[in-house]
Amino acid sequence: MGSAAVGATVIGRALAGSSEAPAGAKTGDAPSDVEVYTVEKTEAEWREQLSPEAFDVLRKAGTEAPGSSELNSVKADGDYICAGCDLPLFKSEWKYESGTGWPSFYEFVEGHLDFKTDYKLIWPRKEYHCARCGGHQGHVFDDGPKPSGKRYCNNGVALKFVPAGSGATG
Ligand SMILES: [Zn+2]
């Protein structure tokens, strides 16, 4: 598929320019029609690890109810990491109030998200997921603030917030 090949190319380029690429992350050499993640678990293992709400979003590409996430109101400094595998995806400095009821960011940690087009609605949307475990995070839209102009509309339940200085990441 063309979109998968494009995704692999983007990730390959991103990793080449990043000194903190996740260990064993997939490269441009991976087969373009097969998603390969360094964190692979069975459905039963994910169910055991995750809350039912997080499982529905991360593993079934569900969407949480708007306004339901406690992360909506978080403004402290820190990192937002994947609730499935702890990979840092967003920084607090990129978070902004979009008014949508979902945690929103205008930038992400380079190379840590993968993208594909989602046809669940009538119009195609660009879905994104964690590059390490494949967990669905949200959708990206073109109505975000400058400089990127992007709005990464994320399910709060798919993220964990790690306050700066806690030593949990990096
Ligand atoms: Zn993950």
- Strand partners of residue 114: 129
Among the options 85, 130, 133, 153, which is catalytic?
153
Taking every pair of Cα atoms in the chain, the longest distance, rounded to a whole number of angstroms, is 44
- What's the CA-to-centroid distance between 125 and ligand 1, angstroms? 21
**Domains in the chain with CATH codes:** 39-163 (2.170.150.20)
Q: Are 11 and 129 in contact (CB under 8 A)?
A: no
Region at 165 (left for phi over 0; alpha for psi -120 to 50; beta for the rest): left
- 153 and 98 Cβ atoms separated by less than 8 Å: yes
Å from CA of 87 to ligand 1 middle: 6
Ligand 1: centre distance to CA 84 (Å): 5
User: What is the 133 CA–ligand 1 centroid distance (Å)?
Assistant: 4
**Tokens representing residue 129 in the block:** 């997921």
pLDDT per residue over 117-170, tens digit each? 988 878 889 999 999 999 999 999 999 999 999 999 999 999 999 999 886 554
Backbone angles phi, psi at 24, to 5 degrees: 75, 15
pTM above threshold 0.85: no
Residue 82 annotated among the catalytic residues of the structure = no
43 pLDDT above the threshold of 50: yes
Please tell me the distance from the alpha carbon of residue 95 to that of residue 109, in angstroms, as a whole number: 12
Q: What is the pLDDT of residue 166?
A: 83
